[in-house]
Amino acid sequence: MILQNSLLELNKIEQDAIIELFEVDLSKIVGDKTIFRFHNGMNEMRQAIIWQGNIYEPYPIKAQGFEKSGQGTSNRPTLTVANISGLITGLSQDYDDLLGAVVTRHQVIVKFLDSGNFNEGNPAADPTQEVISNYVIERLTSLNSETASFELALPCESDGALIPARVIIANTCAWQYRSSECGYTGKAIADEFDKPTDDLSKDKCSRCLKGCKLRFGEHGILPFGGFPSAAKLS
């Protein structure tokens, strides 16, 4: 949505600086309201950016490829973020590479930012002046110890569907331990290395078939979230 005042500012030959703020909403894939807000910089007071009362933490993030075309399919923008302390690695492992997460880009002219961003306040602050673009994460294109890159798509083109519905991994369970998909609610069994423990704080699933069998029995019905047969060659 482009509001009139924002459009006038954007059309000026010499315009105020425009910043990009990003929201990554995991609510649909996590099951509760989980939103990360980032901006690749800080405000006048060397603190996190405040926009519409929300805090956008300083975090290395870069987006590119937001061109618009009236012909054919739309472009696929790329969102690249730092993998500080393995944050993205952990989220990707727990939530299927974040496929389906909603990414919102806010383009805001600095003069309209909340008063809390400036040492002397901001009488021109106006939380309605922004340009919003919504995308969904289509796929994880690269991941290493330093950065992660995601390909984005318009919601109308993804239609909320993931194809395949889940990433096919042979020997690793995709379910979160003790979740509804996992189904285990019993006592502590073993740690993440399948070593026995009776301490609930150390009780973690190895995400392997062995960990599943330790909890449901060697010959029990296993709710294993992987695809063991995918590793077999005919």
Quick check: helix, strand or coil at residue 29?
A: helix
Among all chains, which residue has been given the structure tokens 């974040």? 98
Query: What is the predicted pLDDT for the residue at 71?
Result: 53
Q: Which two tokens stand for residue 27?
A: 């609510």
- ω before 155 within 30° of 0 (cis)? no
Q: What is the value of pTM for the model shown?
A: 0.61
Please state the rounded mean pLDDT for residues 134-154: 91
HSE (side-chain half, CA atoms, 13 Å) at 107? 16
How confident is the model over 18-44, as pLDDT tens digits?
899 999 999 888 877 889 999 999 998
Q: How far is the C-alpha of 106 from the C-alpha of 212, rounded, in Å?
A: 43
The distance of Cα 56 from the centroid of its chain, to the nearest Å, equals: 14
Q: Where are the domains of the chain?
A: 4-158, 168-234
The yes-or-no verdict on residue 58 having pLDDT over 90 is yes
The yes-or-no verdict on residue 2 having pLDDT over 50 is no
- Whole-number average pLDDT of the chain: 82
Please state the rounded mean pLDDT for residues 149-178: 72
The yes-or-no verdict on residue 17 having pLDDT over 90 is no
Query: What is the predicted pLDDT for the residue at 73?
Result: 55
